[in-house]
Amino acid sequence: MPGSASLSAPQKALRKLGLARDIDLALHLPLRWEDETRITRLAQAREGEAVQIEGTVTDSQLAYRPRRQLVVTIDDGSDTCQLRFFSFYPSQQKALAVGQRIRARGELRGGLYGWQMVHPTCRPAGEPLPTALTPVYSTVATLPQAYLRKAVMAGLARADLSDSFPPGLARHLGLDEGWSLRESLQFLHHPAPDVSMASLENREHPAWQRLKAEELLAQQLSQLVSKRERDALRAPRLAPTPGGLHEQLLQALPFALTAAQRRVAEEIARDLGRCVPMHRLLQGDVGSGKTVVAALAAAVTIDAGWQCALMAPTEILAEQHFRKLIGWLEPLLAPRGLCVAWLTGSQKKKERTAMLAPIASGEAALVVGTHAVIQEQVQPPRLALAIIDEQHRFGVAQRLALRSKMLAEGQEPHLLMMSATPIPRTLAMSYYADLDVSTIDELPPGRTPVVTKVVSDSRRGEVIERIRAQLQQGRQVYWVCPLIEESEVLDLSNATETHQSLSEALPGVQVGLLHSRMPVAEKKAVMARFESGEMGVLVSTTVVEVGVDVPNASLMVIEHAERFGLSQLHQLRGRVGRGAAASACVLLYAPGENGRLGETARERLKAMVETSDGFEIARRDLDIRGPGEFLGARQSGAPLLRFADLELDRPLLEAVRAVAPRVLERHPEMAARHVARWLGGKSEYLKA
């Protein structure tokens, strides 16, 4: 019996589905509904219809051909129907014995022997027919539908469903005021049979509209609350001094900033000059020059006497990304008695320990590395700015860890996140309301657009010719092999085979191999040889995905391009076209067994050919994958919208967004109750 100390399997499943509180159960709305309110007479039924019939069992026997099955005949007075079951318990067989009166629900098929139903749902006749549609909930194997229905019913009955919409709000949002939360929920769990099924299924019914508005309001409010909490925190004010590090860095740079870089650098400087911690995302297409903007922010910080930490998702990226930055800053730090500390996972313990002292004394004004930066022992006493590169590649928990650990002298650090994957506007509006966004929308001058071609794998020979031509002009080439997540071994064999065959096809050319399982030192050595120009072709798994900067590379071949995600392809392509030479990207694809590419793969490759604009790519990626995938929410546990759809319900989203600050202002208690009801303890994740 439930209630004992240990939970039953269905109770555990309820927990796992996040259905812990009464209100969670009440908000677990049906996936679909079945109409069990009517009995259809067989004489009036139509082929293919899902119906409920009622009759007396006139025959019941086991058949063994073509396979073991229970065949039951029922007669409803107008006609007969055969019910077939391929798996059944003895108890079911007994319930379907000759003479029993039963109800069966399923799809009617006409056949050689008259009407048939395969695996109908059966129950004894006699109970009064339900007066509402029967809900079908999404569930898991260990949680039977019937159990879940009872639990939801009970939750719905017990939950506090009193309104948490301030008076007038529903009307303001253009909702039908007849539908309160209570009425909407009661209706959607048990709709009247005369409702239009279409309005339930496409979620246009006023009850659905009310729930969508409720959900969107909860989300907007929770973000406003996060923002308010942040505004209450204090961070060091960092202002650039005339003639200081910031100006020295600008003078030392071998190029002038683009207008876009200047604009975002100013936006960041303005944030740093306030006593509220910055929470800003710097987005800009691959190659748009985010690193120098980060360096300027670091310079302001260090100039003001504070420390700055920079974190990248992998060691090779950390090194690639920050080598330039360090090259710029280190010569300016040395005369001030300051230094840069490196922290990575592959470091020897001794080496890493040696870094801890200058970090703790503040002598290391810049702390650079991978996840190692957020380790316990790393204690920069005056950390005022944390910069996270390729922020979307970090888990939410890691971002939170960075933010929470780095309290310096009772103050929060400023946080700057960088990403080459722009957030589409609808997502920015709904999920990242507590995030300020700066965008670099311009590439540095002198870049030539990359020409992208989609080529069948059967034309590999021509591609190799093309590589030869590039090499003869003194250019370099990337060849990327896909990462096969399920099998690192397969992944590796693919890359090594390609490496082998390219080495043979290109005698006298240095062909290097880089893959994820190589020791870091070896990876670095390979990269160094490619960067120096000594190596002509670099075969690699996706480790070059972000951050590698070799302007002389002018051709990128991506093998099995159909296996990559769209933004990944875009990131990869960003590795070429970094110099003045005309550059190309060849997307090799291998058609499936039917000689064709799948629909979404085709769409992705098409998008790559049609546009090189990172924003357009992100928008299309969102279309193809949906927001859940885009946010990587499955790993992060961030509460996604369950009922509202960002695109379809955009007008409602905008209306809710506009009114949310007023709701919070005028009805703070109601707002708090609303957020707690809808998000429970889950809202924490939205802050990261």
Which residues ranging from 298 to 357 are in contact with ligand ADP (CB under 6 A)? 324
**DSSP letter (8 states) at residue 370:** S
Binding test (CB under 6 A) with ligand ADP, winner from 135, 155, 236, 284: 284
List, as one string, the DSSP characters of 33-100: EE--S----GGG--TT-EEEEEEEEEEEEEE-SSS-EEEEEEE-SS-EEEEEESS--HHHHHHT-TT-
671: number of Cβ within 10 Å:
23
Tokens at residue 325, please? 């930055």
Rounded CA gap, 293 and 169, in Å? Answer: 43
Q: Give the pair of three-digit tokens for residue 450.
A: 């990359």
For ligand ADP, the closer of residues 444 and 533 by Cβ is 444
Q: Which helix (H) or strand (E) holds 464?
A: helix 460-472
E-state strands within 470-530: 476-480, 511-514
Task: Establish if 130 lies at the interface with ligand ADP (CB under 6 A).
Answer: no
Measured in residues, the chain has a length of: 688
CA atoms in the 13 A half-sphere facing the CB of 144 = 4
286, 388, 502, 527: which one binds ligand ADP (CB under 6 A)? 286
Task: Give the span between the Cα atoms of 56 and 78, in whole angstroms.
Answer: 12
Is residue 287 close enough to count as binding ligand ADP by CB under 6 A? Answer: yes
In whole angstroms, how close is the CB of 512 to ligand ADP at the nearest point? 21
Q: CB under 6 A: which stretch of 86-94, 137-145, 241-249, 255-263 binds ligand ADP?
A: 255-263
Q: For the CB of residue 290, give the shortest distance to ligand ADP in the complex, in Å.
A: 4
**Three-class SS of residue 566?**
helix
Least separation in angstroms between CB 253 and ligand ADP: 8
Binding string, residues 210-249; x marks residues near ligand ADP by CB under 6 A: ----------------------------------------
CA distance 686 to 639: 8
Q: Give the count of beta carbons closer than 10 Å to the beta carbon of residue 32.
A: 13
Region from 3-11, 252-260, 510-518, 560-568 binding ligand ADP, contact rule CB under 6 A? 252-260
Candidates 209, 258, 370, 476; binder of ligand ADP (CB under 6 A) is 258
Among 132, 195, 250, 257, binds ligand ADP (CB under 6 A): 257
Q: Is 437 in the site for ligand ADP (CB under 6 A)?
A: no
> Which residues on neighbouring strands pair with residue 438, listed in sequence order?
282
Q: Which residues pair with 512 in a beta bridge?
A: 538
Rounded to the nearest whole angstrom, what is the least distance from the CB of residue 287 to ligand ADP in the complex?
A: 5
Binding mask 561-600 for ligand ADP (x = CB under 6 A): -----------------x----------------------
95, 122 contact by CB (below 8 A): yes
For position 444 contacting ligand ADP by CB under 6 A, the verdict is: yes
| Residue number, 292 or 326, with CB nearest to ligand ADP | 292
Specify whether the CB–CB gap between 387 and 672 falls below 8 A: no
Q: Quickly list DSSP for 102-163.
A: EEEEEE-EEETTEEEEES-EEEETTSPPPSSPEEE----TTS-HHHHHHHHHHHHHHS----
Site for ligand ADP in 367-426 (CB under 6 A): 420
Residue closer to ligand ADP, measured from CB, 227 or 447: 447
Least Cβ distance, residue 285 to ligand ADP (angstroms): 7
Among 247, 363, 549, 684, binds ligand ADP (CB under 6 A): 549
| CA–CA separation, 670 and 674 (whole Å) | 6
The stretch near ligand ADP (CB under 6 A) out of 67-75, 284-292, 344-352, 405-413 is 284-292
Give the residue, chosen from 240, 289, 482, 512, that forms a contact with ligand ADP under the rule CB under 6 A: 289
Q: By C-beta, is 285 or 649 nearer to ligand ADP?
A: 285
Residues binding ligand ADP: number (CB under 6 A): 17
Give the type of residue at 454.
V
- Residue 96 contacts ligand ADP per CB under 6 A: no
**Among 83-91, 250-258, 355-363, 471-479, the segment contacting ligand ADP (CB under 6 A):** 250-258
Stretch that binds ligand ADP, among 27-35, 257-265, 528-536, 657-665 (CB under 6 A): 257-265
Closer Cβ to ligand ADP, 23 or 296, answer by number: 296
| Smallest separation, CB 36 to ligand ADP (Å) | 58
Of 56 and 611, CB closest to ligand ADP: 611
Residue 506 DSSP class: S
**If you compute the radius of gyration of the chain from its CA atoms, what whole number of angstroms results?**
31
Helices and strands, counts by H and E, the chain = 25, 22
Among 32, 160, 202, 255, binds ligand ADP (CB under 6 A): 255
Q: Which residues fall within 8 angstroms of residue 63, CB to CB, at 6 or more apart?
A: 69, 70, 71
| 623: enclosing H helix or E strand | helix 614-625
Which residues form the interface with ligand ADP (CB under 6 A)? 255, 257-258, 261, 284, 286-292, 324, 420, 444, 549, 578
